[in-house]
A and B are shown apart, each in its own frame.
Chain A
Amino acid sequence: MTLLDVQNLRVSFDTETGVVEAVRGVSFSLGRERLGIVGESGSGKTMTGRAVLRLIRPPGRIAAERMVFDGQDLMAASERDMRALRGKRIGMVMQDPKYSLNPVMNVGDQLTEGLRQRDGMGRKDARAKAIAALEAVQIRDPERVMEAYPHELSGGMGQRVMIAMMLIPEPDLLIADEPTSALDVTVQAEVLGILDALVRDRGMGLIFISHDLRLVARFCDRVLVMYKGRVVEELEARHLMAARHPYTQGLLNCLPRIGGPRGPLPGLDRSGAWAQEGAE
Protein backbone atom coordinates (compact mmCIF):
# COMPACT_ATOMS: atom_id res chain seq x y z
CA MET A 1 0.00 0.00 0.00
CA THR A 2 1.33 3.39 -0.89
CA LEU A 3 1.46 5.91 1.92
CA LEU A 4 3.21 8.69 0.13
CA ASP A 5 3.56 9.18 -3.59
CA VAL A 6 5.75 11.94 -4.94
CA GLN A 7 6.17 12.58 -8.66
CA ASN A 8 8.54 15.11 -10.19
CA LEU A 9 9.04 17.22 -7.08
CA ARG A 10 10.87 20.49 -7.63
CA VAL A 11 12.03 23.07 -5.12
CA SER A 12 13.51 26.32 -6.35
CA PHE A 13 14.71 29.53 -4.76
CA ASP A 14 14.75 33.00 -6.28
CA THR A 15 17.93 34.86 -5.41
CA GLU A 16 19.63 38.03 -6.64
CA THR A 17 21.77 35.94 -8.91
CA GLY A 18 18.88 34.00 -10.45
CA VAL A 19 16.78 30.93 -9.73
CA VAL A 20 18.51 28.15 -7.82
CA GLU A 21 16.96 24.72 -8.08
CA ALA A 22 17.52 22.70 -4.93
CA VAL A 23 15.39 19.73 -5.95
CA ARG A 24 15.00 18.93 -9.65
CA GLY A 25 12.33 16.38 -10.35
CA VAL A 26 12.48 13.82 -7.58
CA SER A 27 9.99 10.94 -7.68
CA PHE A 28 9.48 8.19 -5.16
CA SER A 29 6.75 6.33 -3.40
CA LEU A 30 6.73 4.95 0.06
CA GLY A 31 4.70 2.27 1.79
CA ARG A 32 4.95 1.33 5.43
CA GLU A 33 8.65 0.84 5.04
CA ARG A 34 11.94 2.55 5.76
CA LEU A 35 13.22 4.67 2.94
CA GLY A 36 16.65 6.21 3.15
CA ILE A 37 17.59 9.38 1.28
CA VAL A 38 21.34 9.80 1.05
CA GLY A 39 23.39 12.55 -0.41
CA GLU A 40 26.08 15.08 0.36
CA SER A 41 25.36 18.64 1.38
CA GLY A 42 23.59 20.49 -1.38
CA SER A 43 22.10 17.30 -2.81
CA GLY A 44 18.59 18.46 -1.92
CA LYS A 45 17.87 15.65 0.53
CA THR A 46 16.78 17.95 3.36
CA MET A 47 14.72 20.08 0.99
CA THR A 48 12.97 16.95 -0.27
CA GLY A 49 12.02 16.02 3.28
CA ARG A 50 10.82 19.52 4.09
CA ALA A 51 8.91 19.85 0.82
CA VAL A 52 6.76 16.84 1.73
CA LEU A 53 5.55 18.84 4.73
CA ARG A 54 5.50 22.02 2.62
CA LEU A 55 7.91 23.55 5.10
CA ILE A 56 9.78 25.64 2.55
CA ARG A 57 9.69 29.34 3.24
CA PRO A 58 9.57 32.00 0.55
CA PRO A 59 11.48 32.78 -1.62
CA GLY A 60 11.49 28.99 -1.96
CA ARG A 61 8.84 27.44 -4.20
CA ILE A 62 7.57 23.88 -4.38
CA ALA A 63 6.19 22.30 -7.53
CA ALA A 64 5.22 18.69 -8.14
CA GLU A 65 3.19 16.74 -10.64
CA ARG A 66 1.84 14.69 -7.80
CA MET A 67 2.38 14.65 -4.06
CA VAL A 68 -0.23 12.53 -2.34
CA PHE A 69 -0.16 11.37 1.27
CA ASP A 70 -2.67 8.66 2.14
CA GLY A 71 -5.15 9.85 -0.49
CA GLN A 72 -4.73 13.54 0.35
CA ASP A 73 -3.25 15.82 -2.27
CA LEU A 74 -0.53 17.77 -0.45
CA MET A 75 -0.09 20.25 -3.28
CA ALA A 76 -3.77 21.26 -3.17
CA ALA A 77 -4.12 21.16 0.62
CA SER A 78 -4.69 24.47 2.38
CA GLU A 79 -2.19 25.74 4.94
CA ARG A 80 -4.77 24.81 7.57
CA ASP A 81 -4.94 21.22 6.33
CA MET A 82 -1.15 21.06 6.34
CA ARG A 83 -1.01 22.20 9.94
CA ALA A 84 -3.40 19.41 10.84
CA LEU A 85 -1.14 16.92 9.06
CA ARG A 86 2.18 18.11 10.45
CA GLY A 87 3.05 16.50 13.71
CA LYS A 88 -0.25 14.63 13.87
CA ARG A 89 0.08 12.34 10.86
CA ILE A 90 3.54 13.17 9.58
CA GLY A 91 6.22 13.68 12.22
CA MET A 92 9.64 15.18 11.72
CA VAL A 93 12.84 14.73 13.72
CA MET A 94 15.59 17.24 13.02
CA GLN A 95 19.34 17.01 13.31
CA ASP A 96 19.96 19.00 16.43
CA PRO A 97 17.50 18.80 19.33
CA LYS A 98 19.01 22.01 20.72
CA TYR A 99 17.29 24.01 18.02
CA SER A 100 14.06 22.04 17.88
CA LEU A 101 13.03 22.12 21.53
CA ASN A 102 11.71 25.25 23.17
CA PRO A 103 14.43 26.34 25.61
CA VAL A 104 12.12 28.06 28.10
CA MET A 105 9.59 25.24 28.51
CA ASN A 106 10.27 22.07 30.41
CA VAL A 107 10.10 18.76 28.59
CA GLY A 108 6.86 17.69 30.23
CA ASP A 109 5.01 20.81 29.12
CA GLN A 110 6.33 20.48 25.59
CA LEU A 111 5.29 16.86 25.37
CA THR A 112 1.80 17.39 26.76
CA GLU A 113 1.08 20.71 25.04
CA GLY A 114 -0.15 19.11 21.83
CA LEU A 115 -2.16 16.44 23.59
CA ARG A 116 -3.97 18.93 25.77
CA GLN A 117 -4.59 21.60 23.20
CA ARG A 118 -5.19 19.60 20.06
CA ASP A 119 -6.77 16.52 21.51
CA GLY A 120 -8.36 18.17 24.55
CA MET A 121 -6.86 15.59 26.87
CA GLY A 122 -6.86 16.08 30.65
CA ARG A 123 -3.68 16.95 32.51
CA LYS A 124 -3.34 13.53 34.08
CA ASP A 125 -3.96 11.50 30.93
CA ALA A 126 -1.62 13.69 28.90
CA ARG A 127 1.11 13.26 31.50
CA ALA A 128 0.67 9.49 31.57
CA LYS A 129 0.90 9.36 27.80
CA ALA A 130 4.00 11.55 27.73
CA ILE A 131 5.72 9.36 30.30
CA ALA A 132 4.82 6.28 28.29
CA ALA A 133 6.36 7.91 25.22
CA LEU A 134 9.58 8.68 27.10
CA GLU A 135 9.72 5.09 28.28
CA ALA A 136 9.26 3.97 24.69
CA VAL A 137 12.48 5.76 23.73
CA GLN A 138 14.21 4.01 26.62
CA ILE A 139 14.56 6.92 28.98
CA ARG A 140 15.01 5.28 32.32
CA ASP A 141 13.81 8.06 34.63
CA PRO A 142 10.99 9.73 32.68
CA GLU A 143 9.67 11.54 35.77
CA ARG A 144 12.91 13.48 36.12
CA VAL A 145 13.20 14.19 32.39
CA MET A 146 9.64 15.55 32.36
CA GLU A 147 10.73 18.28 34.75
CA ALA A 148 13.99 19.05 32.95
CA TYR A 149 14.62 21.95 30.60
CA PRO A 150 16.24 21.22 27.24
CA HIS A 151 19.63 22.66 28.21
CA GLU A 152 19.83 20.19 31.07
CA LEU A 153 19.70 17.24 28.68
CA SER A 154 22.64 15.68 26.88
CA GLY A 155 22.57 15.47 23.10
CA GLY A 156 21.44 11.87 23.06
CA MET A 157 18.77 12.49 25.67
CA GLY A 158 17.50 15.57 23.81
CA GLN A 159 17.22 13.59 20.60
CA ARG A 160 15.26 10.86 22.39
CA VAL A 161 12.89 13.49 23.74
CA MET A 162 12.45 14.84 20.21
CA ILE A 163 11.64 11.36 18.94
CA ALA A 164 9.22 10.76 21.83
CA MET A 165 7.53 14.06 21.07
CA MET A 166 7.07 13.12 17.44
CA LEU A 167 5.74 9.69 18.33
CA ILE A 168 3.06 10.80 20.81
CA PRO A 169 0.46 11.62 18.14
CA GLU A 170 1.25 8.25 16.51
CA PRO A 171 2.01 9.55 13.04
CA ASP A 172 1.79 7.33 9.98
CA LEU A 173 4.97 8.73 8.54
CA LEU A 174 8.11 9.91 10.27
CA ILE A 175 10.66 12.06 8.49
CA ALA A 176 14.00 11.91 10.29
CA ASP A 177 16.56 14.42 8.99
CA GLU A 178 20.04 13.41 10.16
CA PRO A 179 18.57 12.36 13.53
CA THR A 180 21.85 11.10 14.90
CA SER A 181 24.62 13.12 13.30
CA ALA A 182 24.96 15.44 16.29
CA LEU A 183 25.45 12.45 18.59
CA ASP A 184 28.46 10.44 19.71
CA VAL A 185 28.90 7.11 17.99
CA THR A 186 28.00 4.98 21.00
CA VAL A 187 24.83 7.03 21.62
CA GLN A 188 24.06 7.08 17.92
CA ALA A 189 23.76 3.30 17.79
CA GLU A 190 21.30 3.33 20.69
CA VAL A 191 19.09 6.06 19.24
CA LEU A 192 19.02 4.33 15.87
CA GLY A 193 18.05 1.10 17.55
CA ILE A 194 15.15 2.83 19.28
CA LEU A 195 13.98 4.47 16.07
CA ASP A 196 14.24 1.22 14.20
CA ALA A 197 12.22 -0.75 16.76
CA LEU A 198 9.50 1.90 16.93
CA VAL A 199 9.08 2.02 13.20
CA ARG A 200 8.89 -1.77 12.98
CA ASP A 201 6.50 -2.22 15.91
CA ARG A 202 4.09 0.52 14.95
CA GLY A 203 4.17 -0.03 11.22
CA MET A 204 5.09 3.53 10.43
CA GLY A 205 6.59 4.75 7.22
CA LEU A 206 10.04 6.25 7.73
CA ILE A 207 12.02 8.61 5.57
CA PHE A 208 15.55 8.58 6.92
CA ILE A 209 17.67 11.42 5.57
CA SER A 210 21.40 11.18 6.07
CA HIS A 211 24.77 11.88 4.56
CA ASP A 212 26.08 8.56 5.79
CA LEU A 213 25.49 5.79 3.28
CA ARG A 214 26.58 3.05 5.65
CA LEU A 215 24.17 4.15 8.34
CA VAL A 216 21.27 4.36 5.94
CA ALA A 217 22.05 1.00 4.40
CA ARG A 218 21.93 -0.59 7.78
CA PHE A 219 18.66 0.94 8.94
CA CYS A 220 16.54 1.17 5.81
CA ASP A 221 14.86 -1.14 3.33
CA ARG A 222 15.37 1.02 0.31
CA VAL A 223 17.82 3.82 -0.48
CA LEU A 224 17.55 6.82 -2.77
CA VAL A 225 20.90 8.34 -3.59
CA MET A 226 20.66 12.04 -4.44
CA TYR A 227 23.13 14.31 -6.16
CA LYS A 228 22.54 17.98 -6.99
CA GLY A 229 18.78 17.75 -6.56
CA ARG A 230 18.27 14.54 -8.54
CA VAL A 231 17.92 10.90 -7.63
CA VAL A 232 20.88 9.20 -9.30
CA GLU A 233 20.20 5.72 -8.02
CA GLU A 234 17.49 3.84 -6.18
CA LEU A 235 18.29 0.44 -4.76
CA GLU A 236 17.53 -2.12 -2.10
CA ALA A 237 19.65 -1.43 0.94
CA ARG A 238 20.95 -4.98 1.14
CA HIS A 239 22.26 -4.69 -2.42
CA LEU A 240 24.15 -1.50 -1.61
CA MET A 241 27.53 -3.10 -2.11
CA ALA A 242 26.41 -3.96 -5.62
CA ALA A 243 25.56 -0.33 -6.43
CA ARG A 244 26.26 0.44 -10.05
CA HIS A 245 26.16 4.19 -10.18
CA PRO A 246 29.62 5.75 -10.00
CA TYR A 247 28.44 8.31 -7.47
CA THR A 248 27.11 5.68 -5.07
CA GLN A 249 30.26 3.64 -5.50
CA GLY A 250 32.34 6.73 -4.93
CA LEU A 251 30.49 7.55 -1.72
CA LEU A 252 31.08 4.02 -0.45
CA ASN A 253 34.74 3.86 -1.33
CA CYS A 254 35.92 7.27 -0.23
CA LEU A 255 35.54 6.47 3.47
CA PRO A 256 38.58 5.26 5.35
CA ARG A 257 38.33 1.89 7.08
CA ILE A 258 40.00 0.69 10.23
CA GLY A 259 42.94 -1.39 9.17
CA GLY A 260 42.43 -0.37 5.56
CA PRO A 261 45.23 0.50 3.14
CA ARG A 262 47.27 3.63 3.88
CA GLY A 263 47.38 5.04 0.38
CA PRO A 264 45.31 7.96 -0.85
CA LEU A 265 41.57 7.44 -0.48
CA PRO A 266 39.74 7.13 -3.77
CA GLY A 267 38.10 10.48 -4.44
CA LEU A 268 34.81 11.00 -6.12
CA ASP A 269 35.12 11.34 -9.86
CA ARG A 270 32.72 14.10 -10.83
CA SER A 271 33.71 14.18 -14.45
CA GLY A 272 31.02 11.71 -15.57
CA ALA A 273 28.00 12.82 -17.58
CA TRP A 274 25.79 12.22 -14.54
CA ALA A 275 27.50 14.98 -12.61
CA GLN A 276 26.92 17.70 -15.17
CA GLU A 277 24.43 20.50 -14.60
CA GLY A 278 21.90 19.56 -17.25
CA ALA A 279 22.02 15.79 -16.79
CA GLU A 280 18.67 14.04 -16.46
Chain B
Amino acid sequence: MSLIEIEGLSVTFRAKGREVRAVRDVSLSVSDRESYGLVGESGSGKSTILRAICGLAPISAGVIRIGGKPVATPRGRDFSRHVQMVFQDPYASLHPRHTIDRTLSEPLAIHGLAGSDARVVRALEDVGLPASFRFRYPHQLSGGQRQRVAIARALVLEPQILLLDEPTSALDASVQAEVLNLLARLREERGLTFLMVSHDLAVIDHMTDRVLVMQHGRAVEELSRDDLAAARMTTDYARSLFEASADRMLETGG
Protein backbone atom coordinates (compact mmCIF):
# COMPACT_ATOMS: atom_id res chain seq x y z
CA MET B 1 0.00 0.00 0.00
CA SER B 2 1.17 3.52 -0.72
CA LEU B 3 2.21 5.58 2.26
CA ILE B 4 1.80 8.91 0.49
CA GLU B 5 -0.91 9.30 -2.11
CA ILE B 6 -1.55 12.54 -3.94
CA GLU B 7 -4.45 12.70 -6.36
CA GLY B 8 -5.19 15.57 -8.71
CA LEU B 9 -3.48 18.12 -6.48
CA SER B 10 -3.76 21.77 -7.51
CA VAL B 11 -2.37 24.69 -5.56
CA THR B 12 -3.49 28.21 -6.39
CA PHE B 13 -2.06 31.30 -4.74
CA ARG B 14 -4.20 34.41 -4.77
CA ALA B 15 -2.47 37.73 -4.34
CA LYS B 16 -3.80 41.17 -5.23
CA GLY B 17 -6.56 39.80 -7.41
CA ARG B 18 -4.14 37.69 -9.42
CA GLU B 19 -4.21 33.92 -9.41
CA VAL B 20 -1.05 31.93 -9.70
CA ARG B 21 -1.56 28.23 -10.31
CA ALA B 22 1.63 26.83 -8.84
CA VAL B 23 0.61 23.16 -9.07
CA ARG B 24 -1.89 21.81 -11.60
CA ASP B 25 -3.47 18.42 -11.29
CA VAL B 26 -0.49 16.43 -10.06
CA SER B 27 -0.87 12.85 -8.88
CA LEU B 28 1.76 10.60 -7.40
CA SER B 29 2.11 7.80 -4.91
CA VAL B 30 5.03 6.77 -2.77
CA SER B 31 5.16 3.38 -1.10
CA ASP B 32 6.44 2.71 2.39
CA ARG B 33 10.23 2.98 2.62
CA GLU B 34 10.51 4.22 -0.91
CA SER B 35 12.52 7.26 -1.90
CA TYR B 36 10.74 9.42 -4.42
CA GLY B 37 12.11 12.47 -6.22
CA LEU B 38 10.58 15.61 -7.68
CA VAL B 39 12.80 17.41 -10.15
CA GLY B 40 12.29 20.58 -12.14
CA GLU B 41 13.44 24.14 -12.59
CA SER B 42 12.41 27.15 -10.54
CA GLY B 43 8.68 27.76 -10.76
CA SER B 44 7.90 24.16 -11.60
CA GLY B 45 5.87 23.76 -8.41
CA LYS B 46 7.99 20.97 -6.95
CA SER B 47 8.58 22.64 -3.58
CA THR B 48 4.96 23.77 -3.46
CA ILE B 49 3.84 20.13 -3.41
CA LEU B 50 5.88 19.55 -0.24
CA ARG B 51 4.49 22.68 1.34
CA ALA B 52 0.95 21.65 0.40
CA ILE B 53 1.46 18.31 2.15
CA CYS B 54 2.48 20.20 5.30
CA GLY B 55 -0.43 22.61 5.09
CA LEU B 56 1.82 25.53 4.25
CA ALA B 57 0.27 26.12 0.81
CA PRO B 58 -3.40 26.50 -0.12
CA ILE B 59 -4.82 23.38 -1.80
CA SER B 60 -7.47 24.32 -4.36
CA ALA B 61 -8.26 20.80 -5.56
CA GLY B 62 -7.23 17.21 -4.99
CA VAL B 63 -6.59 14.90 -2.06
CA ILE B 64 -3.49 14.11 -0.05
CA ARG B 65 -3.53 10.81 1.86
CA ILE B 66 -0.92 9.69 4.35
CA GLY B 67 -1.16 6.01 5.26
CA GLY B 68 -4.51 5.78 3.46
CA LYS B 69 -6.17 8.57 5.45
CA PRO B 70 -6.76 12.06 4.07
CA VAL B 71 -4.72 14.61 5.98
CA ALA B 72 -6.57 16.75 8.51
CA THR B 73 -6.70 20.52 8.21
CA PRO B 74 -5.07 22.04 10.20
CA ARG B 75 -2.47 19.32 10.25
CA GLY B 76 -2.29 18.84 14.02
CA ARG B 77 0.12 17.07 16.33
CA ASP B 78 -0.51 13.60 15.07
CA PHE B 79 0.60 14.67 11.62
CA SER B 80 3.87 16.06 12.96
CA ARG B 81 4.70 12.68 14.53
CA HIS B 82 4.45 11.12 11.07
CA VAL B 83 5.72 13.73 8.64
CA GLN B 84 8.60 16.17 9.01
CA MET B 85 10.40 18.41 6.58
CA VAL B 86 13.95 19.62 5.96
CA PHE B 87 14.08 23.02 4.31
CA GLN B 88 16.31 24.27 1.57
CA ASP B 89 18.12 27.11 3.24
CA PRO B 90 19.83 26.12 6.47
CA TYR B 91 20.44 29.80 7.16
CA ALA B 92 16.71 30.55 7.22
CA SER B 93 15.28 27.40 8.77
CA LEU B 94 16.86 27.68 12.23
CA HIS B 95 15.68 30.35 14.62
CA PRO B 96 18.59 32.80 14.83
CA ARG B 97 18.06 33.51 18.53
CA HIS B 98 17.60 29.97 19.76
CA THR B 99 20.45 27.71 20.73
CA ILE B 100 20.69 24.31 19.06
CA ASP B 101 19.57 22.85 22.37
CA ARG B 102 16.34 24.82 22.33
CA THR B 103 15.68 24.06 18.66
CA LEU B 104 15.99 20.33 19.33
CA SER B 105 14.23 20.16 22.68
CA GLU B 106 11.21 22.28 21.72
CA PRO B 107 9.47 19.57 19.64
CA LEU B 108 9.90 17.22 22.60
CA ALA B 109 8.33 19.78 24.91
CA ILE B 110 5.40 20.34 22.52
CA HIS B 111 4.64 16.65 22.42
CA GLY B 112 5.34 16.14 26.10
CA LEU B 113 8.06 13.57 25.52
CA ALA B 114 10.33 12.77 28.43
CA GLY B 115 14.09 12.44 28.60
CA SER B 116 14.73 15.63 26.70
CA ASP B 117 18.40 16.01 27.64
CA ALA B 118 19.45 12.55 26.58
CA ARG B 119 17.39 12.71 23.40
CA VAL B 120 18.95 16.01 22.34
CA VAL B 121 22.46 14.67 22.79
CA ARG B 122 21.56 11.49 20.92
CA ALA B 123 19.91 13.46 18.12
CA LEU B 124 23.13 15.44 17.68
CA GLU B 125 25.22 12.30 17.65
CA ASP B 126 22.91 10.68 15.10
CA VAL B 127 23.60 13.45 12.62
CA GLY B 128 27.32 13.43 13.30
CA LEU B 129 27.61 16.55 15.42
CA PRO B 130 29.58 16.61 18.68
CA ALA B 131 27.58 17.08 21.87
CA SER B 132 29.66 20.20 22.54
CA PHE B 133 27.66 22.00 19.83
CA ARG B 134 24.55 21.78 21.94
CA PHE B 135 24.54 25.31 23.30
CA ARG B 136 25.79 27.03 20.19
CA TYR B 137 23.72 29.49 18.20
CA PRO B 138 23.07 28.88 14.50
CA HIS B 139 25.38 31.70 13.45
CA GLN B 140 28.23 29.85 15.10
CA LEU B 141 27.75 26.90 12.75
CA SER B 142 28.65 26.36 9.10
CA GLY B 143 25.98 25.73 6.49
CA GLY B 144 26.51 21.99 6.55
CA GLN B 145 26.36 21.86 10.34
CA ARG B 146 23.15 23.85 10.33
CA GLN B 147 21.60 21.48 7.85
CA ARG B 148 22.58 18.59 10.11
CA VAL B 149 20.81 20.36 12.97
CA ALA B 150 17.74 20.82 10.75
CA ILE B 151 17.81 17.09 9.97
CA ALA B 152 18.18 16.27 13.66
CA ARG B 153 15.19 18.49 14.43
CA ALA B 154 13.10 16.77 11.78
CA LEU B 155 14.01 13.35 13.16
CA VAL B 156 13.66 14.09 16.86
CA LEU B 157 9.94 13.24 16.72
CA GLU B 158 10.79 9.98 14.93
CA PRO B 159 8.57 10.47 11.86
CA GLN B 160 8.10 7.87 9.14
CA ILE B 161 8.17 10.34 6.30
CA LEU B 162 10.80 12.95 5.62
CA LEU B 163 10.08 15.68 3.10
CA LEU B 164 13.33 17.07 1.75
CA ASP B 165 13.15 20.43 0.00
CA GLU B 166 16.46 20.91 -1.82
CA PRO B 167 18.31 19.96 1.34
CA THR B 168 21.77 20.42 -0.18
CA SER B 169 21.43 23.10 -2.83
CA ALA B 170 22.77 25.80 -0.53
CA LEU B 171 25.80 23.72 0.43
CA ASP B 172 29.27 23.20 -1.00
CA ALA B 173 29.88 20.10 -3.05
CA SER B 174 31.88 18.26 -0.41
CA VAL B 175 29.38 19.18 2.29
CA GLN B 176 26.56 18.12 -0.01
CA ALA B 177 28.17 14.70 -0.28
CA GLU B 178 28.36 14.42 3.51
CA VAL B 179 24.74 15.46 4.00
CA LEU B 180 23.49 13.15 1.24
CA ASN B 181 25.42 10.28 2.80
CA LEU B 182 23.93 11.13 6.17
CA LEU B 183 20.42 11.15 4.76
CA ALA B 184 20.96 7.84 2.97
CA ARG B 185 22.32 6.29 6.18
CA LEU B 186 19.44 7.56 8.31
CA ARG B 187 16.93 6.24 5.79
CA GLU B 188 18.59 2.86 5.90
CA GLU B 189 18.75 2.76 9.71
CA ARG B 190 15.24 4.02 10.40
CA GLY B 191 13.35 2.75 7.39
CA LEU B 192 12.29 6.24 6.42
CA THR B 193 10.26 7.20 3.39
CA PHE B 194 11.69 10.14 1.46
CA LEU B 195 9.95 12.62 -0.76
CA MET B 196 12.80 14.73 -2.08
CA VAL B 197 12.81 17.84 -4.22
CA SER B 198 15.80 19.06 -6.16
CA HIS B 199 16.74 20.94 -9.30
CA ASP B 200 19.81 18.75 -9.65
CA LEU B 201 19.05 15.60 -11.57
CA ALA B 202 22.28 13.95 -10.44
CA VAL B 203 21.41 14.44 -6.76
CA ILE B 204 17.87 13.17 -7.30
CA ASP B 205 19.17 10.20 -9.20
CA HIS B 206 21.61 9.36 -6.45
CA MET B 207 19.03 9.58 -3.70
CA THR B 208 15.75 8.29 -5.10
CA ASP B 209 14.20 5.23 -6.74
CA ARG B 210 11.68 7.06 -8.90
CA VAL B 211 11.59 10.60 -10.24
CA LEU B 212 8.76 12.84 -11.34
CA VAL B 213 9.90 15.55 -13.77
CA MET B 214 7.87 18.74 -13.38
CA GLN B 215 7.49 21.89 -15.46
CA HIS B 216 5.23 24.93 -14.96
CA GLY B 217 3.28 23.19 -12.20
CA ARG B 218 2.51 20.05 -14.19
CA ALA B 219 3.89 16.57 -13.99
CA VAL B 220 5.79 15.92 -17.22
CA GLU B 221 7.09 12.40 -16.88
CA GLU B 222 7.80 9.78 -14.27
CA LEU B 223 11.07 7.93 -14.63
CA SER B 224 12.53 4.98 -12.82
CA ARG B 225 16.18 5.06 -11.92
CA ASP B 226 17.08 2.68 -14.72
CA ASP B 227 15.21 4.73 -17.29
CA LEU B 228 17.07 7.81 -16.21
CA ALA B 229 20.49 6.21 -16.31
CA ALA B 230 19.80 4.81 -19.76
CA ALA B 231 18.36 8.15 -20.95
CA ARG B 232 15.04 6.48 -21.80
CA MET B 233 12.88 9.53 -21.45
CA THR B 234 9.92 10.12 -23.74
CA THR B 235 9.36 13.85 -23.38
CA ASP B 236 11.54 16.60 -24.82
CA TYR B 237 11.60 18.54 -21.60
CA ALA B 238 12.90 15.66 -19.52
CA ARG B 239 15.55 15.09 -22.16
CA SER B 240 16.67 18.73 -22.21
CA LEU B 241 16.91 18.69 -18.43
CA PHE B 242 19.00 15.55 -18.66
CA GLU B 243 21.26 17.04 -21.35
CA ALA B 244 21.84 20.24 -19.37
CA SER B 245 22.59 18.41 -16.16
CA ALA B 246 25.89 19.63 -14.79
CA ASP B 247 27.51 16.25 -14.39
CA ARG B 248 27.28 15.63 -18.12
CA MET B 249 29.30 18.74 -18.78
CA LEU B 250 32.68 17.11 -18.61
CA GLU B 251 31.65 14.31 -20.92
CA THR B 252 30.16 16.54 -23.59
CA GLY B 253 32.57 19.42 -23.23
CA GLY B 254 35.81 17.88 -22.11
Chain A complexes with chain B: yes
Q: How large is the interface on B (under 10, 10 to 19, 20 to 34, 35 or more residues)?
A: 35 or more
Contacts A40-B172, A255-B202, A260-B206 supplied; 18 other A-B pairs, CB < 8 Å: A41-B172, A185-B245, A185-B246, A186-B240, A187-B41, A211-B172, A217-B250, A240-B254, A250-B174, A251-B174, A254-B173, A254-B177, A255-B173, A256-B247, A257-B202, A257-B247, A258-B248, A264-B185
CA distance A254 to B246 in the complex (A): 14
Enumerate 10 A-B pairs (CB-CB under 8 Å) in ascending A order.
Answer: A184-B41, A185-B241, A185-B246, A186-B240, A217-B254, A241-B254, A254-B173, A258-B228, A266-B177, A267-B178
Q: Which of B174, B184, B200, B250 contacts A40 (CB 8 A)?
A: B174
CA distance A218 to B185 in the complex (A): 33
**Chain A residues in contact with chain B, CB under 8 A?**
40-41, 155, 184-189, 211-215, 217-218, 238, 240-241, 250-251, 254-260, 262, 264-268
B149 adjacent to chain A (CB < 8 Å): no
Quick one: which of B184-214 are within 8 Å of A by CB? 184-185, 199-203, 205-207
Of B174, B176, B240, B248, most A-chain CB atoms within 10 Å: B174
**Chain B residues in contact with chain A, CB under 8 A?**
41-42, 143, 172-178, 180-181, 184-185, 199-203, 205-207, 228-230, 240-242, 244-250, 253-254
CA distance A186 to B176 in the complex (A): 22
Given A185-B241, A188-B244: A211 and B253 interface contact (C-beta under 8 Å): no
Contact A186 B241 (CB under 8 A): yes
Contact A264 B184 (CB under 8 A): yes
Given A251-B173, A256-B202, A264-B181: A185 and B244 interface contact (C-beta under 8 Å): yes
Contact B244 A218 (CB under 8 A): no
Q: Which residues of A contact B248 (CB under 8 A)?
A: 258
Q: Which residues of B contact A257 (CB under 8 A)?
A: 202, 205-206, 247
Given A211-B172, A265-B180: A258 and B201 interface contact (C-beta under 8 Å): yes
Closest to A155 in B: B42
